[in-house]
Amino acid sequence: MNLNALEQTERLLDQILQSGVSELDILQQFYTFKHGLPHIRLDAPCTTENGTIRRVSTEESYNLIRQAENAIAAGRVMKFVPASGAATRMFKAILAVLGTNEPITLQTLRDRAGTESNYRFTLTFVENLHQFAFYTALANVSEKHGINLADRTKANFDYAPVLQLLTSEEGLNYANLPKGLIIFHRYSSPSAPARTAFEEHVVEALHYTLGAGEDGRAARLHFTVSPEHHNVVKAHLDAVCSHYDDPKSMASRITIELSEQKQSTNTVAVTPENEPFLTEDGLHFRPAGHGALLENLNDLEGDIVFIKNIDNVVPDRIKADTYTYKKILCGLLVSLQERIFTALRELETLPISKERLFSIAEFGSKELAWFFPKPIQEYSQDDLQTMLVTLLNRPIRVCGMVKNEGEPGGGPFVVEYSDGSRSLQIVESAQIDLANPKQRSIFDASTHFNPVDLVCAVRNYKGEPFNLLHFRDIETGFISFKSTNGRELKALELPGLWNGSMAYWNTIFVEVPTSTFNPVKTINDLLRPEHQG
């Protein structure tokens, strides 16, 4: 080995040590790139008809809501919101039009809207500019730069400087800020005329996490944020909480924690030929997707945790369904958890009759959607008892599912494994071999969609926090093609937080109304009636 090669090797080793990513993990990642990840094998779509998605009756919901409210009052509940991503994708079309460096008039947009989607999107945006809740903020910053938005109806008005102020750091900087800092909704209150997505989550949390705390009642939230936005998010949330916190009476305290995705969860990139992707700095590490946030969730050592995306919030006028179904999901979780804990305590006590083992197995099949590889009568008593303990003693997730109305994303399926066992999983289309006609037909028969509406139980029957890293399927990650500085690369994402990261949890799917799912994936989604004032 020549001196230059030795120096480069030493530099790479030092970089690995500084990265926090273990050498074993890096070797495993290179192996994964070379050999690929297996497709998930679908057995059937989860539907209300085959019983793998529950429908909660009105009568049942009253009892579940009561159980949820008891758990909330006892201070067992908190909310976890992944919020580290920037809002760049929301403005992708607008940024593309801005990138032409041409004047952007209404006539220009109309001339090209018929054939070019980016111009069509931008035309919709500017024609409805006054309907966005951030219009006043944009008008104010535009005025400081000598632009009067009242002139926008003039034929020759150039929107380019306005869109630049909307998206860049010289103005609102919305294309670079976290999505949670964008003003989503307009209100009539003079003291609080508009709310960001972050603020809407705080308001939500006050309605279904407010329970016993060390200093009275408290609503608890946890947001994951990127390091570069940590301070601005904290300052914003401090200001938001000052509107709702009541420290004098201790009647309504808000506790918010922020965490950052761990550097040690980053994954190394490779070339399209599966060689290390090297830059001037050495190996190229990338954030590994929302599956990396399993570490953050694990560190909480929580009890009952709601998980919801940052952009799925609505104005107060239509929050009622959200509050109701959050409690229904939580009540079902608590109800099942109590029965699971009772069974586990029985299984600890020997002897236990085979009839009782059959009864517990039947509970698992009926209530937790267990699928046994063979009839339970064929197992020995000891083997059955051991298996039941393993199946019961794991985290639980109750997942709301909405009817599929064409939104992109994953859905609920029964997945089959090589040993003949099956389980309920949330699966993304990228994990499925859609070239296989049978797999394609199962995928196309799906009736429901995953809105990321989960409530999770992350403590065992002894009150100890589970190590959630023990319940993920590491083979359910994603390999995707990306580019940086004009060079193509392959990137590896860890198993998704609600996909493979929760593969070995007890899983229950419940139908929830579409009114509880109102995502904002592009800025024009805020023009939907649900998000208007």
Q: Are residues 71 and 104 in the same domain?
A: no
Distances (CA, A) of 369 to 51, 365, 392, 413, 493: 9, 5, 12, 12, 28
Supply the pLDDT for residue 21. Answer: 79
Residues 6+ apart with CB under 8 A from 291: 472, 477, 493, 494, 495, 496, 497, 499, 500, 501
Amino acid at 242: S
Q: What are phi and psi of 384, to 5 degrees?
A: -65, -40
471-520 pLDDT, tens digit per residue, is 999 889 888 888 888 889 999 999 999 999 999 999 999 999 999 999 99
Supply the pLDDT for residue 329. Answer: 98
- Domain end (from 176, 210, 233): 176
> Which structure tokens are listed for 177?
């800020």
For 174, which DSSP code?
A: T
Kindly state whether residue 398 falls inside one of the protein's structural domains: yes
Best CA proximity match to 493, nearest among 342, 234, 326, 286? 286
472-483 pLDDT, tens digit per residue, is 998 898 888 888
Kindly state whether residue 34 falls inside one of the protein's structural domains: no
Q: Are residues 68 and 194 in the same domain?
A: no
Q: Are residues 246 and 318 in the same domain?
A: no
Answer whether 400's CB lies under 8 Å from 64's CB: no
Residues 6+ apart with CB under 8 A from 364: 370, 388, 391, 392
How far is Cα 53 from Cα 35, in angstroms, rounded to an integer? 35
Q: Are residues 510 and 393 in the same domain?
A: yes
Q: Are residues 161 and 208 in the same domain?
A: no
Answer whether 209's CB lies under 8 Å from 244's CB: no
β-bridge partners, 415:
42, 423
Supply the pLDDT for residue 304. Answer: 98
Helix (H, G, I), strand (E, B) or coil at 186: strand
Q: Are residues 207 and 349 in the same domain?
A: no
Could you tell me the pTM of the whole model?
0.92
> For the chain, what is the domain count?
3
Write out the residue range of the structural domain in which residue 197 sits. 186-268
Supply the pLDDT for residue 378. Answer: 92
Best CA proximity match to 162, nearest among 150, 171, 174? 171
Amino acid at 470: H
Q: Which long-range contacts (CB under 8 A, 24 or more apart) does 380-386 make?
A: 381/354, 381/357, 384/354, 384/357, 385/347, 385/352, 385/357
Kindly state whether residue 491 falls inside one of the protein's structural domains: no
Q: Are residues 468 and 387 in the same domain?
A: yes
Q: Are residues 71 and 138 in the same domain?
A: no
Per-residue pLDDT of the chain (533 residues; tens, 9 = 90+): 444 655 666 666 676 767 777 888 888 888 999 988 999 999 999 999 999 999 999 999 999 999 999 999 999 999 999 998 889 999 999 999 999 999 999 999 999 999 999 999 999 999 999 999 999 999 999 999 999 999 888 888 999 999 999 999 999 999 999 999 999 999 988 777 999 999 999 999 999 999 987 667 889 999 999 999 999 999 999 999 888 866 554 445 889 999 999 988 889 989 999 998 888 878 888 888 899 999 999 999 999 999 999 999 999 999 999 999 999 999 999 999 999 999 999 998 877 899 999 999 999 999 999 999 889 999 999 999 999 999 999 999 999 999 988 766 789 999 998 888 899 999 998 899 999 999 999 999 999 999 999 999 999 999 999 999 999 998 898 888 888 888 899 999 999 999 999 999 999 999 999 999 999 999 999 999 999 97
Cα torsion at 7, 10, 15, 21 (round to 10°)?
Answer: 150
Kindly state whether residue 429 falls inside one of the protein's structural domains: yes
Supply the pLDDT for residue 252. Answer: 58
b/e map of 147-177 (b: 16 or more CB within 10 Å)? Answer: bebeebeeeebbbbbbbebbbeeebbbbbeb
Kindly state whether residue 54 falls inside one of the protein's structural domains: yes
Q: Are residues 430 and 323 in the same domain?
A: yes
